[in-house]
Amino acid sequence: MKTKTPQIDNSRSSFLETLADLQQGFMMYHLWGRLGWNDILQRYRRSILGPLWLTISMAVLIGALGLLYAKLFKVDVAEYIPFLAIGFVLWQLISGILLDGCNVFVHSEGIIKQIKLPLSLHVYRALWRNFLTLLHNSVVVVFVLVYFNIGVNLNTLLALVGIFFIVINGGWFSFLIGMLCARYRDLNPTIASLVTLSFFLTPIIWNPSLIPDRAFILLYNPFFHFVESIRAPLLGQPVQLETWWILTSITIIGWILVIPAVSKMGRKLVYWL
Please tell me whether residue 21 adopts helix, strand or coil conformation. helix
Would you say residue 128 lies in a domain?
A: yes
% of the chain exceeding 90 in pLDDT: 36
Number of domains in the chain: 1
Of residues 97, 110, 124, 119, the one with CA closest to residue 269: 119
Would you say residue 21 lies in a domain?
A: no
Would you say residue 211 lies in a domain?
A: yes
**CA triple 217-220-225, angle to 5 deg:** 95
pLDDT mean over 189-194: 91
Do the Cβ atoms of 88 and 66 come closer than 8 Å? no
Determine the residue type at 222. P
pLDDT at 5 over 50: no
- The pLDDT-based confidence of 51 (bands split at 50, 70, 90) is low
pLDDT at 47 over 80: no
Determine the residue type at 127. L
Would you say residue 254 lies in a domain?
A: yes
pLDDT mean over 4-8: 47
% of the chain exceeding 70 in pLDDT: 89
Higher pLDDT, 49 or 7: 49
pLDDT of residue 216: 66
Assign 3-class secondary structure to 212-270.
HHHCHHHHCCHHHHHHHHHHHHHCCCCCCHHHHHHHHHHHHHHHHHHHHHHHHHHHHHH
pLDDT of residue 213: 61
Q: Which pTM does this prediction carry? A: 0.88
pLDDT of residue 7: 45
pLDDT single digits (tens) 214-243: 666 677 889 999 999 999 999 888 888 999
Q: Containing domain of residue 164, as a range?
A: 49-272
- Measured distance CA(135)–CA(271) in Å, rounded: 36
pLDDT single digits (tens) 68-111: 888 888 888 888 899 999 999 999 999 999 999 999 998 888 88
Would you say residue 265 lies in a domain?
A: yes
Do the Cβ atoms of 51 and 136 come closer than 8 Å? yes
Would you say residue 14 lies in a domain?
A: no
- Measured distance CA(160)–CA(163) in Å, rounded: 5
pLDDT of residue 49: 64
Please tell me whether residue 4 adopts helix, strand or coil conformation. coil
Would you say residue 36 lies in a domain?
A: no
pLDDT mean over 59-74: 86
Would you say residue 44 lies in a domain?
A: no
pLDDT of residue 1: 45
- Measured distance CA(95)–CA(99) in Å, rounded: 6
Do the Cβ atoms of 98 and 167 come closer than 8 Å? no
pLDDT of residue 212: 65
Do the Cβ atoms of 272 and 182 come closer than 8 Å? yes
Sign of CA dihedral 59, 65, 70, 73: negative
